[in-house]
């Protein structure tokens, strides 16, 4: 855990102004910035395919993983990563074979995930404090080792998205066309599904599993109002995600609010304001 301690030292040692002068705030900032940038990058391709709720579903599966980890004594992050990656992969395979077209098949996974989590936690002696940290987020108590994992998972998914973004866009527009063009459509879909799982696991301590998909969807919804190009969509989505995290952390420190919820509320506010501004602008153009 050399990387982790290095990051921890670095984070704690930086001479940042209020509200990021304390070590725990710097760790929160580091984890939040990575998640704020990466979740929307993945979300860009989910939202454009009208699969916005996939993140929520995989979040439910990750809960089963967290619970399983708590019961089995495995670090919940690894357990959640294993369960949600396997689940994301399975959902995608079913979808591509036309067996999970309706919401229904996905709903079975989602509720199955939550229910399995609840049952598994019944085996634990007490409803562990740690489980709440994953359900509702606890960004102010992340440890250097967790930040290291978040940074690694975030870097991995951002790199994958940047390499695959053109091909992913082609499959978003038309899977059949992409198949004819010789693109590895099945593999690209699997990569996207697995990236969703990876980013959800990276985000669960930041905003909590209940809100994990919000950072994948809300910044993209804002960017769709503003962007003219795919590049613009990626840049604005990431920018809105990062800003929401920073502003959310500041507000949370200022007024002593729950940080996960505050970050998401900021992202909601940015979307509502952008949509309202857009409506006013287009009205004035017509008038």
Partner 1 sequence: MPSNGERDAVAVLEGVRFGYSAGHPVLDGIDLAIRPGQFVALVGPNGSGKSTLLRLLLGLASPDAGQVRLFGHRPGDPADRGRVGYVPQRPNLGEGVAASVADLVSSGRLARLGWRRRPRAADRAAVDAALDAVGLGDHRDRRLRELSGGQQQRAFIARALAGEPELLVLDEPVAGVDVESQALFRRSLVHLQTLGGTVLLVSHELGAVADALDRVVVLKSHIRFDGPPAELAASGVSLGVHRDDLPVWLEGVR
Under rule CB under 8 A, residue 224 binds partner 1: yes
Quick note: the x/- pattern for partner 1 over 131-170, rule CB under 8 A, is: --------------------------------xx-xx-xx
Question: In the set 3, 22, 23, 49, which binds partner 1 (CB under 8 A)?
Answer: 49
Question: In the set 105, 173, 254, 275, which binds partner 1 (CB under 8 A)?
Answer: 173
Taking the complex as a whole, how short is the minimal distance between the CB of residue 51 and partner 1, in angstroms?
A: 10
Q: Which stretch binds partner 1 (CB under 8 A): 12-20, 230-238, 269-277, 279-287?
A: 230-238
Under rule CB under 8 A, residue 243 binds partner 1: no
Burial of 244 (0-12, 13-18, 19+ CB in 10 A): buried
Under rule CB under 8 A, residue 223 binds partner 1: yes
Under rule CB under 8 A, residue 50 binds partner 1: yes
Closer to partner 1 by Cβ: residue 105 or 173? 173
**Is residue 18 within 8 Å of 189, Cβ to Cβ?**
no
Closer to partner 1 by Cβ: residue 50 or 256? 50
Under rule CB under 8 A, residue 180 binds partner 1: yes
Taking the complex as a whole, how short is the minimal distance between the CB of residue 267 and partner 1, in angstroms?
A: 17
Question: In the set 116, 131, 192, 233, which binds partner 1 (CB under 8 A)?
Answer: 233
List of residues contacting partner 1 (CB under 8 A): 47-50, 163-164, 166-167, 169-170, 172-174, 176-184, 188, 223-224, 227-230, 232-233
């Amino acid at each position: 855990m050399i990387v982790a301690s290095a990051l921890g030292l670095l984070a704690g040692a930086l001479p940042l102004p209020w509200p990021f002068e304390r070590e725990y705030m710097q760790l929160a900032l580091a984890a939040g910035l990575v998640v704020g940038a990466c979740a929307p990058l993945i979300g860009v391709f989910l939202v454009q395919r009208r699969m916005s709720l996939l993140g929520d579903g995989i979040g439910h599966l990750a809960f089963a993983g967290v619970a399983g980890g708590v019961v089995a004594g495995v670090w919940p992050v690894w357990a959640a990563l294993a369960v949600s990656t396997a689940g994301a992969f399975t959902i995608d395979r079913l979808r591509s074979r036309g067996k999970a077209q309706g919401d229904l098949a996905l709903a079975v996974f989602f509720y199955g995930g939550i229910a399995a989590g609840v049952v598994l936690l019944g085996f634990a002696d007490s409803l562990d404090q740690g489980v709440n940290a994953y359900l509702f987020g606890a960004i102010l108590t992340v440890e250097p080792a967790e930040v290291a994992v978040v940074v690694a998972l975030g870097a991995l998914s951002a790199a994958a998205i940047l390499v695959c973004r053109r091909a992913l866009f082609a499959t978003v527009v038309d899977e059949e066309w992409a198949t004819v063009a010789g693109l590895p459509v099945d593999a690209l879909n699997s990569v996207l599904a697995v990236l969703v799982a990876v980013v959800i696991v990276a985000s669960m301590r930041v905003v909590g599993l209940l809100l994990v998909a919000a950072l994948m969807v809300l910044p993209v919804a804002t960017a769709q109002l503003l962007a003219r190009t795919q590049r613009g969509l990626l840049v604005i989505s990431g920018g809105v995600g990062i800003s929401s995290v920073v502003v959310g952390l500041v507000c949370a420190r200022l007024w002593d609010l729950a940080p996960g919820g505050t970050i998401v509320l900021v992202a909601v506010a940015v979307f509502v304001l952008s949509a309202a501004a857009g409506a006013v602008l287009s009205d004035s153009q017509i008038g």
